[in-house]
Structure 1
Amino acid sequence: MRIGIAGITGRVGQLLIEEVRAAGATVAGGTTRAPEQATGLAAEVPLFTSMSALAEKCDVVIDFTHADTVVSSARALVGTGVAWVLGTTGLSAAQLGALQEASGDMTVVHAANFSPGVTLVQRLARMMGQALPAETYDAEIVEMHHRQKVDAPSGTALAIGQAVALGRGVALEDVRESGRDGLTGPRQTGAIGFAALRGGQIVGEHDVLFTSADEQITLSHRSFNRRIYATGAVRAALWTKGREAGLYNMEDVLGLPPL
């Protein structure tokens, strides 16, 4: 299988090269804004400055770039027969629409986090959101990442929050609370709260807490190495072979039955 890597010169891009090769697949090449500045493993493979050029050389593209590129990438990939494994978070309604439209013509796997463990935490969070009444169980999501991270809450934290909201049958934007400071008043019943911590070089930590007057249940996940995201993305890329067009997620890749 020929796998292309969008943003191949980034930190995850280098790990993806290693994981593609470890899986016995071929690194068909990657995109980068400045091919002449490529170093390390990225300098050893074909480099392109456009998604359409990369699509001509591969069967599937793994994309961990930026939300701003989603619409243009969707346009470049539609009609090429190439599958798309997308790990970009923070998509707007228009960008999600472009993704959905593209999936009518091609196989797309989209996930906020390709870790199998995080995927299972999201699933459990949805089940707990459904089983534990919002009137009596407060849901809070706490995440911590390295000091260089520029967005908060993390895309994974928001995806977990979306799972809780889905289980409760509500829209996350209607019940989300984050960044509490000062005299905020009492916690709103049914709110899904977020707290973001930053420091050091922590890869990623996420805790989901459901707390009532009588008990607390906590789901925790710790990432020790970014490689887990690359390994999961390559697993998803291999899974796309022979799949019908559609929009899939990591639960599909793991073979989990629908809830």
Structure 2
Amino acid sequence: MTDIVILGAKGRMGTMLINRTLADESLNLVGACERKGHADGLNYECAVSDCLEELLPNVPGAVIIDFTAPEASVTMAKTAAKHGNPAVIGTTGLNPEQQAELAESAKKTPIFWAPNMSVGVNVLLKIMPLLVQALGDSYDMEVVETHHRMKKDSPSGTALKLAQVLAEARGWVYDDVKKHCRDGIIGERPQKEIGVQTLRGGDVVGEHTMFFFGPGERIEVTHRAHSRETFAAGALRAAKWLARQKPGKLYSMADIF
């Protein structure tokens, strides 16, 4: 049985993670944590706290699951490393420096980070390079992502990862070819470019489409998340796997596959 601690326990993802953990006989909810002054009302039969530093000594070895915010996730990883607790992170919007900090913490305790916990999205990340290489250089590649109006980062972490994979499959450096916004008289589209465009509105859980515009035809590959449950399921799957791993690298869904 895998012991689980949920961070951001009152949030939409936190609540879903707790419910799925309680419903899974192979998991044991041992802790629920919220921000300072926000732990009131967490009525679960486990340790409840608004301070992870104080909670972790009471739950040695428990896997922390965190879908909060970049700065909070980086701080959490350092705390997890200090106490030797593995941690699964589904937070998006981490910059390269923050990702490097996670990798540093991962040298001391098993840390898993994925910008998208969906099994379907991570399968796409593995197979899209095959499509890119098969189509060849005559196809223009673009990515469009749509999320709910409350999402704070743009483009989404998933859209960035998908676009990076497309660029790598062409042998390009993503930062050299990315185009996150087009406005005004911009001239013809360069061949060596990948556009990533963002839509925001309503309660859309998450939708990503990769376009391949070729001579006389167009290919579209779309992934739609119908419910946040797909992310919760992926995170719990990762937690079960991570509990058996050793520190030394920042793990991802590719490692599970």
Q: Deviations over 1:49-89 (max 9, x none)?
A: 23323332152101111111233222211142211101112
Q: For 1:103-144, what per-residue CA distance to the aligned partner results, in whole angstroms no more than 9, with x for missing partners?
A: 2222111101111011112222233334443x4111111111
Contact 1:3 1:27 in 2 (8 A): yes
Q: Which residue of 2 aligns with 1:2?
A: 3
- Look up the match of 1:16: 17
| Equivalent in the alignment of 2:230 | 228
1:7–1:63 contact (8 Å) kept in structure 2: yes
Q: Give the aligned partner of residue 200 of structure 2.
A: 198
1:115 equivalent to 2:118? Answer: yes
Give the corresponding residue for 1:172. 174
Give the whole-Å Cα distance in 2 for the aligned partners of 1:35 and 1:63. 18
Give, in whole Å, the separation in 2 of the partners of 1:55 and 1:210.
48
Instruction: State the secondary structure of the residue aligned to 2:43.
Output: helix
| 8 Å Cα contact 1:67/1:89 also seen in 2 | yes
DSSP-derived class of the 1:43 partner: coil
92-101 or 50-59, larger mean C-alpha shift: 50-59
The ranges of structure 1 where at least 4 consecutive aligned residues each deviate by more than 6 angstroms after the TM superposition are none
Conservation of the 8 A alpha-carbon contact between 1:209 and 1:218: yes
- State, as a whole percentage, how many aligned pairs show the same letter: 36
2:249 aligned with 1:250: no
8 A Cα contact 1:61 1:85, kept in partner: yes
The answer to whether the 8 Å contact 2:207/2:224 transfers is yes
TM-score, length basis structure 1: 0.89
Count of residue correspondences: 251
Q: 1:150 to 1:93 in 2, by over 3 A?
A: closer
The code of the aligned residue for 1:108 comes to I
2:66 matches 1:63: yes
The C-alpha deviation readout for 1:218-245, integer Å capped at 9, x for no partner, is: 2111111111111110010011122122
Structure 2 unmatched ranges of 5 or more: none
Aligned amino acid, residue 111 of structure 2: V
Give the partner amino acid of 1:26: N
Give the corresponding residue for 2:29.
27
What amino acid is aligned across from residue 61 of structure 1 in structure 2? Answer: I
User: Does the CA contact (< 8 Å) of 1:130 and 1:168 recur in 2?
Assistant: yes
Evaluate the alpha carbon distance shift between residue 68 and residue 197 of structure 1 in structure 2; reply closer, same or farther with a 3 A threshold.
same
How many angstroms apart in 2 are the aligned matches of 1:204 and 1:34? 30
Write the distance in 2 (CA, Å) between the matches of 1:72 and 1:34.
14
**Gaps spanning 5+ residues in structure 1: where?**
none
Structure 2 residue identity aligned to 1:6: L
Q: Which moved more, 1:46-55 or 1:75-84?
A: 46-55
Q: 1:43 maps to which residue?
A: 43
Alpha-carbon distance in 2 for matches of 1:119, 1:138: 22
One-letter identity of the residue aligned with 1:205: E
Q: Distance in 2 between matches of 1:46 and 1:14?
A: 15
Any idea what SS the aligned residue of 2:4 has?
strand
Distance 1:84 1:36, change over 3 A: closer
Distance 1:130 1:53, change over 3 A: farther
What SS does structure 1 have at the residue aligned with 2:29?
strand
What's the counterpart of residue 131 of structure 2? 128
Deviation at 1:38, TM superposition (A): 4.2
Q: Which amino acid aligns with 1:87?
A: G
- Structure 1 residues 214 and 38, CA, compared in 2 at 3 Å: closer, same or farther? farther
Whole-angstrom distance in 2 between the partners of 1:37 and 1:242: 30
**Is contact 1:140–1:193 with CA below 8 Å preserved after alignment?**
yes
- Residue of structure 1 equivalent to 2:91: 88
